[in-house]
């Protein structure tokens, strides 16, 4: 790709930026005492936060098979980050919910993301950040985040 055509580099720039942010957030999570977690787990935590989610819902959110999602959930259960409990409306399903350790991880990730935001705002300025957010919302309007394994 030629530097004379900066639009051709857009995908690579977005991927590099997303990777850099994911690495910074993951490094903060690891520093807070969660060395076995990887960025893709954050998407599971996001989906399971609040009222919880079934393994099928997590699979759909991640764009993976139910079997793959079940393996990830079981790993997180064994590590103490989530638990499974009976679904209140479907006896065949279980809800995956964050444990206190899972909430600690999401707090550490949120704090790290805010730190990244503040650093970028200092470097780029508030107006540029607002424009960037609007542009990225438009680019990704009809998409769902997918894990990078």
Residue 3 has pLDDT above 70, yes or no: no
Residue 108: which residues within 8 A CB-CB, separation 6 or more? Answer: 28, 29, 32, 34
pTM, entire model: 0.82
| pLDDT given at position 65 | 94
CA dihedral 133, 135, 137, 138 (to 10 degrees): 170
pLDDT tens readout for residues 98-120: 999 999 999 999 999 999 999 99
pLDDT tens readout for residues 62-100: 989 999 999 999 999 999 999 999 998 888 989 999 999
- Give the CA distances from residue 79 to residues 28, 76, 107, 121, in Å, rounded to whole numbers and listed in that order: 18, 5, 17, 35
Q: What is the rounded average pLDDT for all residues in the chain?
A: 90
Distance (Å, whole) CA 87 – CA 94 = 5
> Which CATH number is correct for 6-139, 1.20.120.450, 3.90.180.10, 1.10.10.10, 1.10.290.10?
1.10.10.10
């Amino acid at each position: 790709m030629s530097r004379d055509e900066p639009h051709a580099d857009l995908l690579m720039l977005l991927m590099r930026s997303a990777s850099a942010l994911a690495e910074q957030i993951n490094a903060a999570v690891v520093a807070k005492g969660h060395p076995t977690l990887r960025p893709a787990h954050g998407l599971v935590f996001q989906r399971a936060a609040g009222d919880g989610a079934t393994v099928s819902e997590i699979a759909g959110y991640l764009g993976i098979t139910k079997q793959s999602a079940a393996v990830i959930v079981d790993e997180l259960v064994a590590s103490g980050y989530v638990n499974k409990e009976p679904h209140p409306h479907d006896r065949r399903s279980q809800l995956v919910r964050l444990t206190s350790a899972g909430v600690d991880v999401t707090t550490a990730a949120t704090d790290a993301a805010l730190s990244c935001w503040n650093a970028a705002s200092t470097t780029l300025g508030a107006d540029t950040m607002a424009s960037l957010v609007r542009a990225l919302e438009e680019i990704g309007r009809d998409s769902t985040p997918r894990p990078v394994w």
